[in-house]
Structure 1
Amino acid sequence: MPADFDKGAYPEPPRQTPVVDKQTALPNPAVILSKLFYYSVDLPVTTFRDAVDSIRSSNKAVYYHQKFRRVPDLADCQHGDYLCYYEAEMQWRRDYKVDQEIVKVVQERMRACQQREGPSYHQNCAQEIQQFNQTTNNFQSRYGDLGAYATGRKCLMKQKERMMAPQTQSA
């Protein structure tokens, strides 16, 4: 503090903090229990968690974008190779979910444009509507009419039937 301060307005702080006047010589049981809990439970758990977190931080995998390696399609699997069948089925299911999400995202974009543009959305949202129609047609041609229990094998058979069906030519 400066030498010329007003002692009435700013009194000097006490030189020592007062000593707590104990009424008894017995220790406080709450302090004993809190220390016992800290050293027996909290400290070991915290130390273990910090050790695990330090190990995990060096091997941190990004949870929201897991990349799976591509496996052969069902048509490329050898006869009787059940592991290949299983991997192809799991890959088909992931692709199916991704395609569903793509359709949802395109539909949300189209609806947002319709909401934003109002009555003139046919003119101003033509690109979004065309993209939505193309996406839904592609999804329908690949996954449509598979039923509730769709599998990769059913989808493959549907694609084969579609390729073998006679092409109708428009004149």
Structure 2
Amino acid sequence: MAGRDFDKDVYPEPPRRTPADNKQTGLPNPALIASKLFYYSVDLPVTKFRECIDSIQSGKKSVYYHQRFRRVPDLTECEEGDYVCYYEAEMQWRRDYKVDQEIVRVLQERIRACQQREGASAPQNCSKEVQDYDDATKAYMSRYGDLGAYASGRKCLMKQKERMINAQKA
């Protein structure tokens, strides 16, 4: 009885047989059935279809944020009454306008970063950035300045034409 020298109140003996599960019903779990039904009827087919499409497109990945538009003729090169050409030229002008605005904004940010970095010696050490910004701003204002809120390719062309006529007179 060497193995029986323990306190039964502190360490009770384990039961001799494990009792069977006390199931309340013989029906399967409805949540499990619904989840399996959803997986096999919706999730699995959609996933397989997507994998198939991805494997087909894997050879020709296109980067959506670097879309390249082909250059179209300017308004000066469009035939009279060619409204499709007018529209394409206008859309190209708007894209160019946005790009030029972004260039000026980036140069402005470079000046701010240089001034922040250099501190008191900024006027001396940031002269290249300031010169680039001044050149870009002059070019931007000569092309797009005074066009107003309803700027268009046609207005910009007329402004350029006026500038050329004034240059010839002078």
| TM-score, L = length of structure 2 | 0.80
Residue identity matched to 2:108: Q
Match of 2:35 in 1: 34
Match of 2:107 in 1: 106
Aligned length: 151
Match of 1:76 in 2: 77
Residue identity matched to 2:57: R
**Are residues 1:162 and 2:159 paired?**
no
Unaligned ranges ≥5, structure 2: 1-17
| TM-score, L = length of structure 1 | 0.80
Q: Mean Cα displacement is larger for which, 68-77 or 28-37? A: 28-37
Match of 1:14 in 2: none
**Are residues 1:117 and 2:128 paired?**
no
> Aligned equivalents of 2:59 and 2:85: distance in 1?
33
> Aligned equivalents of 1:141 and 1:22: distance in 2?
87
Using the aligned pairs only, state the percent identity: 70
> Aligned equivalents of 2:102 and 2:130: distance in 1?
17
Residue identity matched to 1:108: E
> Aligned equivalents of 1:80 and 1:56: distance in 2?
41
SS of the residue aligned with 1:165?
Answer: helix
Match of 1:140 in 2: 141
Unaligned ranges ≥5, structure 1: 1-17
* 1:104-153 superposed Cα distances (whole Å, 9 cap, x missing partner): 11111111111111122111111111111111000000000000010000
**TM-superposed deviation, 1:167:** 6.3
Which structure has the larger Rg over C-alpha atoms?
2
